[in-house]
């Protein structure tokens, strides 16, 4: 399923959109606020925060960073905390890539850039991850790639999920 980059559109805020939400176990730490690429999360320090569904792009960064597991996805499932070092990163197959740069436009944090391959006679620039630390692991680049040249992968040696607490 392909997801259009709605955060770059000029559409007005839409009502009734199902997005990520923060439940009442939020302790107001603010981690989600710092990682939201579109400033869709508001709240006072040490008070429950909320997500504006008209701004949320459903990247999931808030759910991956929340230590309280107080973020729920659009299906109402509580997100599990994942260590930042284990957030998936784009892996680009330069052989399949056609240099269209759609992935750069899809990235809400601008962590991709184009670089020349260095091969003699190849004048096409290909996407590369220029700032792995900035990548929020949303996968929009992979979803938008028209030739499926990008897959998301957890960096080698990292467990995918770090459970901080169990919800009952």
Q: What is the pLDDT of residues 58-74, one digit of tens each?
A: 999 999 999 999 999 99
Residue 26, number of CB atoms within 10 A of its CB:
20
Return d(Cα 65, Cα 49) in angstroms, integer: 14
Q: What is the pLDDT of residues 90-145, one digit of tens each?
A: 999 988 999 999 999 999 999 999 998 777 776 788 899 999 999 999 999 999 99
Kindly state the average pLDDT of the residues 30-49: 96
Q: What is the pLDDT of residue 119?
A: 74
Q: What is the pLDDT of residue 111?
A: 95
In the predicted model, is pLDDT for residue 15 greater than 70? no
Numbers of helices and strands, H then E, in the chain: 4, 8
Q: Set out the domains of the chain in order of their start, with CATH numbers.
A: 1-81 (3.30.70.20), 87-153 (3.30.70.20)
């Amino acid at each position: 399923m392909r997801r259009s980059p709605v955060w770059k559109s000029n559409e007005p805020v839409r009502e009734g959109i199902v997005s990520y939400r923060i439940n009442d176990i939020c302790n107001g730490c603010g981690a989600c606020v710092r990682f939201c690429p579109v400033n869709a999360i508001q709240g006072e320090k040490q008070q429950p925060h909320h997500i504006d569904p008209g701004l949320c792009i459903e990247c999931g960064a808030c759910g991956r960073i929340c230590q309280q597991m107080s973020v729920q996805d659009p299906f109402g499932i509580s997100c599990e905390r994942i260590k930042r070092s284990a957030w998936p990163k784009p892996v680009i197959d330069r052989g399949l890539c056609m240099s269209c740069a759609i992935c750069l436009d899809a990235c809400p944090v601008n962590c991709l850039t184009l670089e020349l391959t260095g091969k003699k006679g190849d004048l096409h620039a290909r996407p590369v991850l220029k700032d792995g630390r900035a990548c929020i692991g949303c996968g929009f680049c992979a979803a938008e790639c028209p030739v499926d040249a990008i897959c998301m992968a957890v960096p080698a040696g990292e467990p995918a999920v770090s459970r901080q607490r169990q919800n009952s």
